[in-house]
Structure 1
Amino acid sequence: MAHQATASHTEAAKPAIAAEIFKAYDIRGIVDKSLTVDSVMLIGRAIAAEALAIGQQRLCVAYDGRLSGPNLAAALTAGLHAGGVETIQLGMLTTPMLYFATEHLGTGAGVMVTGSHNPPEYNGLKIVLGHEAISGATIQRLYQRILDNALTTGDGQASHTSIAPAYYAHIKHDIQLARPMKVAIDAGNGVAGAYAQALFEALGCQVQALYCEVDGHFPNHHPDPSVPENLQDLMRALAEGDAEIGLAFDGDADRLGVVSKSGEIIYPDRQLMLFADDILQRQPDASVVFDVKCTRLLAPWIAQRGGRPVMWKTGHSLMKAKMRETAAAVGGEMSGHLFFNDCNAAGEARWFGFDDGLYAGARLLELLSRDPDSTARLMALPNSLSTPELHIALQEGEPHRLLAQLQQRARFTGATDIIRIDGLRVEYADGFGLMRASNTTPVIVLRFEADNPSALARIQSQFRAVLTQAAPSAQLPF
């Protein structure tokens, strides 16, 4: 039986734990430096206390393919048990499979040990409580619980199960391909490699697998499909082989990258156009949520099809919260997170509203399989001149300070609108520029889009002037 420990308020009794690992929508740090076994055990205690406070007695636990995953998962489990909750141990999974387990097993709660797309030396925790991926104030509350020793004690026990069979069965029941497809899959040696080939073969696909051996060193390329350089091997495989579409996944498989047969990257905002077009035919007037990095062509595309476009902050848990608030049928981020919460023709829910790169890939194949030539549908999507995500590397804490300053002081000539919901998105009649502080690594993220090269150069020039004045030593990537 769990009980509340006596809170300690003395400075000397406060444990040493790095405040900077408690991010906006997850916990993340460098293993054995800012993120240690001891700190993860303490975080497990805090999660247990938070779970018990809302009446949740059991949590699912899993880890991705990173080298530090098993040790950190063991420390997390020890902390959860010491805090008085039971755990269901699921072993090595994708993050979305952990999300699926919290629904399928009825816990509504779970913790995933994952560093997502960060470099190999990183790891972290994504946390689900009360059927929601926690963020913001709730994550900070975990930190405060540790500082205040506002923890519970108990003797939780572990059980073990495999969630993969139920996961495969659910998707196979939901997804119906109109014809067999040949697909190339690049897992980047992330944990998607353990599951993607089996899933897509179960759907009737012929799979060409690239880097599907799980290896936390990531020896071939980094598992981040938002970076074009990481898609070069997939492009070559499509050019040289007979696969008609290429799918790529990030380190924990909650994000999707797509490459056409011709080698064009179909960025997630354009993927979202396809999904919105399909879903709005069944659910007219539904909301579609997208983040500030997405193309300005997306909102009118949604509106023309009877949907309600909703721009929101970047971040998987922030997006999911906005989708719940707006009862959105689908949502997406430029980084590759895609969220499905739509219904089939019978009005039954197809998915659970969380992001899953493998499921999103299956949904894409379902759409493309309806055409004899999958490329035609992709090439018909509207497009404009744009950059991929660009990054300015700064010191820890600097990006948010700099953006807060720029939100107050920066001026942009000829702007038609300035959106401040997440950094600065500056709209012009012929394009937009964006800069925002990443919540996962100490970088400023930029993206530019325009009707033509001269407009793109003009917008970038304005941003260059503003950034050079505010941060003269920053190395600008444009």
Structure 2
Amino acid sequence: MNFIKLSLEWDLNPRPNAYEAFALSQTELSRHVSGMQPELIKSLSGFDHMKNSISGIRGIFGDDLSLKDVLKFCNNFSALIKSGKCVVANDTRPSSNMIRETAIAAIMQNGIDVFNLGMLATPVVFREARKFGAGLVITSSHNPIEWNGLKFIIDGRGINENELQVVINDQSLDKSKIGKESKLESNYVDEAAKLIGNIEGSPKIAVDIGGGAAKTVAPTLLEKLGCKTQVINKELSNSSRGPDPTSDKLSDLKSYSQKNDIGFAFDLDGDRLVVVKNGVKQSPDVTVGLGAAKAIELGYKKFILSIDTSVSVEKFIKEHGGEVQRSKVGEANVIDLVLKTNSQAAGEGSSGGFILPEFNYCRDGILTSG
């Protein structure tokens, strides 16, 4: 079942009718905002440029986001941790280690035991958080390097709106006990390999890390599955591209993909994946299609797709016996509908994000690459 081959023949641009209304509303909003005075825009933006949402708290570190903010939000987050345990990790941004240590201290002061994963990709943290009850990732995902943020996880999923209010509003907590900190090694690679199974033919794969956290996991998983890998842009200090593979030209990977069977590009925290084939960067929808093809092979039939995902992906799923429901745009909205409908797989076309709920309640670019 070669979705990439099919996608080269399809027009991946068609979207559901509902998406047309969404896109028009976004265009209209942009037109009005662009006409505003900068001072007015800033006055309407709340915490300056800090973004507070169920997807996480993000901002330019040292400007919109400070260590004082980290202490506050992580202290409040502790009120949501009923298991008494929390896994913590960070991406490769220069500010991440400092923020991680501050976050760990804030959580431990409330009697929570912290399991420190160090520098590791977001999907790995989500996987471990299912076991420990809570998790925190220091990341700003695909945003520019000067940004950073906090992504909160409860019971293996991102926090909801009610839980966000707990995080951003001051909480009174019992500080009579200090939690312990332990190092933790993840079994993500072994668990993912067991689910995916061996890949026949020893395909050659160019892996563009983009200087991100996928570097410790993605090549290892692919090699364990039987692939041969050629890794590029492994370190952030000498990466030739930006943190968002969906918007970057991926010039290096285009070249390397022609010497390999396929190329994969990750964002800084490893939840997004973009495919390059024969020197051509594919639409993020192709990533969703690849995940859907594997999910169908595994016997899954119930899918959720965001409304900005190509109808060609929906067509592919239905032609192979699956059923599709549409969600609002955004990972949190996709996951919410997955949980409400007990769906077995999901995708967000605009971000190159595929979700397999049996394994993870988040976009998982690393799992999808297998």
1:129 shift after superposition: 1.1
Match of 1:392 in 2: none
Match of 1:456 in 2: none
When residues 121 and 281 of structure 1 are mapped into structure 2, their CA distance, relative to the original with a 3 A threshold, is closer
Matches within 5 A, 1:192-207: 192-207=214-229
1:38 aligned onto 2:68:
yes
Q: In the aligned structure 2, how far is the partner of 1:294 from the partner of 1:212?
A: 30
1:135 shift after superposition: 3.3
The answer on whether the counterparts of 2:214 and 2:266 sit within 8 Å (CA) in structure 1 is: yes
The answer on whether the counterparts of 1:62 and 1:98 sit within 8 Å (CA) in structure 2 is: yes
The answer on whether the counterparts of 2:74 and 2:167 sit within 8 Å (CA) in structure 1 is: no
Equivalent residue letter for 1:177:
I
When residues 357 and 142 of structure 1 are mapped into structure 2, their CA distance, relative to the original with a 3 A threshold, is same
Equivalent residue letter for 1:115:
S
Match of 1:325 in 2: 340
Match of 1:132 in 2: 157
Q: In the aligned structure 1, how far is the partner of 2:293 from the partner of 2:226?
A: 25
Equivalent residue letter for 2:327:
W
When residues 24 and 59 of structure 1 are mapped into structure 2, their CA distance, relative to the original with a 3 A threshold, is closer
Q: In the aligned structure 2, how far is the partner of 1:99 from the partner of 1:325?
A: 19
Higher relative contact order, chain-length normalized (CA < 8 Å, sep 6+): 2
1:281 shift after superposition: 5.8
When residues 327 and 56 of structure 1 are mapped into structure 2, their CA distance, relative to the original with a 3 A threshold, is same
Provide Cα deviations, 1:380-411, integer angstroms capped at 9, x if missing partner: xxxxxxxxxxxxxxxxxxxxxxxxxxxxxxxx
1:201 shift after superposition: 2.0
When residues 222 and 314 of structure 1 are mapped into structure 2, their CA distance, relative to the original with a 3 A threshold, is same
Match of 1:473 in 2: none
1:99 shift after superposition: 1.1
The answer on whether the counterparts of 1:289 and 1:312 sit within 8 Å (CA) in structure 2 is: yes
- Give secondary structure in 2 for the equivalent of 1:125: strand
1:173 shift after superposition: 2.2
1:271 aligned onto 2:290:
no
Match of 1:109 in 2: 134
Match of 1:163 in 2: 185
When residues 182 and 79 of structure 1 are mapped into structure 2, their CA distance, relative to the original with a 3 A threshold, is same
Q: In the aligned structure 1, how far is the partner of 2:184 from the partner of 2:111?
A: 23
Match of 2:365 in 1: 357
**63-72 or 153-162, which deviates more:** 153-162
The answer on whether the counterparts of 1:182 and 1:207 sit within 8 Å (CA) in structure 2 is: yes
Match of 1:301 in 2: 316
When residues 198 and 277 of structure 1 are mapped into structure 2, their CA distance, relative to the original with a 3 A threshold, is closer
The answer on whether the counterparts of 2:126 and 2:361 sit within 8 Å (CA) in structure 1 is: no
Equivalent position to 2:270, from 253, 275, 294:
253
Q: In the aligned structure 2, how far is the partner of 1:301 from the partner of 1:78?
A: 48
The answer on whether the counterparts of 1:290 and 1:311 sit within 8 Å (CA) in structure 2 is: yes
TM-score calculated relative to the size of structure 1? 0.63
Match of 1:100 in 2: 127
Q: Which 4+ runs in 1 deviate beyond 6 A?
A: none
Q: In the aligned structure 2, how far is the partner of 1:356 from the partner of 1:250?
A: 11
Match of 1:49 in 2: 79
1:232 shift after superposition: 1.6
The answer on whether the counterparts of 2:275 and 2:286 sit within 8 Å (CA) in structure 1 is: no
The answer on whether the counterparts of 2:288 and 2:352 sit within 8 Å (CA) in structure 1 is: no
Unaligned ranges ≥5, structure 2: 1-45
Equivalent position to 1:68, from 80, 88, 95:
95
The answer on whether the counterparts of 2:89 and 2:118 sit within 8 Å (CA) in structure 1 is: yes
- Give secondary structure in 2 for the equivalent of 1:300: helix
Unaligned ranges ≥5, structure 1: 1-16, 342-348, 363-478
1:249 shift after superposition: 0.3
Structure having the higher Rg: 1
1:277 shift after superposition: 4.3
1:282 shift after superposition: 5.5
Q: In the aligned structure 2, how far is the partner of 1:277 from the partner of 1:60?
A: 32
Q: In the aligned structure 2, how far is the partner of 1:62 from the partner of 1:236?
A: 32
1:354 shift after superposition: 3.0
Equivalent residue letter for 2:102:
A
Q: In the aligned structure 2, how far is the partner of 1:300 from the partner of 1:306?
A: 10
**292-301 or 204-213, which deviates more:** 292-301
The answer on whether the counterparts of 1:94 and 1:254 sit within 8 Å (CA) in structure 2 is: yes
Equivalent position to 1:237, from 247, 252, 256:
256
1:338 shift after superposition: 0.8
The answer on whether the counterparts of 1:44 and 1:83 sit within 8 Å (CA) in structure 2 is: no
1:187 shift after superposition: 0.6
Aligned length in residues: 322
Match of 1:122 in 2: 147
- Give secondary structure in 1 for the equivalent of 2:114: strand
- Give secondary structure in 1 for the equivalent of 2:108: helix
- Give secondary structure in 2 for the equivalent of 1:88: strand
Q: In the aligned structure 1, how far is the partner of 2:178 from the partner of 2:222?
A: 37
1:111 shift after superposition: 0.5
1:303 shift after superposition: 3.0
Aligned Cα RMSD in Å?
A: 2.2
Equivalent residue letter for 1:34:
D
Equivalent position to 1:58, from 73, 77, 85:
85
Provide Cα deviations, 1:143-200, integer angstroms capped at 9, x if missing partner: 12x2xx4344243323323324x22221232221122111100011111123322222
Q: In the aligned structure 2, how far is the partner of 1:82 from the partner of 1:313?
A: 38
Q: In the aligned structure 1, how far is the partner of 2:178 from the partner of 2:209?
A: 35
Instruction: Report sequence identity in percent.
Output: 26
Equivalent residue letter for 2:148:
N
The answer on whether the counterparts of 1:48 and 1:85 sit within 8 Å (CA) in structure 2 is: yes
Equivalent residue letter for 2:150:
L
The answer on whether the counterparts of 1:194 and 1:212 sit within 8 Å (CA) in structure 2 is: no
When residues 91 and 154 of structure 1 are mapped into structure 2, their CA distance, relative to the original with a 3 A threshold, is farther
When residues 140 and 325 of structure 1 are mapped into structure 2, their CA distance, relative to the original with a 3 A threshold, is same
Match of 1:345 in 2: none
Equivalent residue letter for 1:195:
V
When residues 81 and 271 of structure 1 are mapped into structure 2, their CA distance, relative to the original with a 3 A threshold, is closer
When residues 70 and 295 of structure 1 are mapped into structure 2, their CA distance, relative to the original with a 3 A threshold, is same
1:101 shift after superposition: 1.6
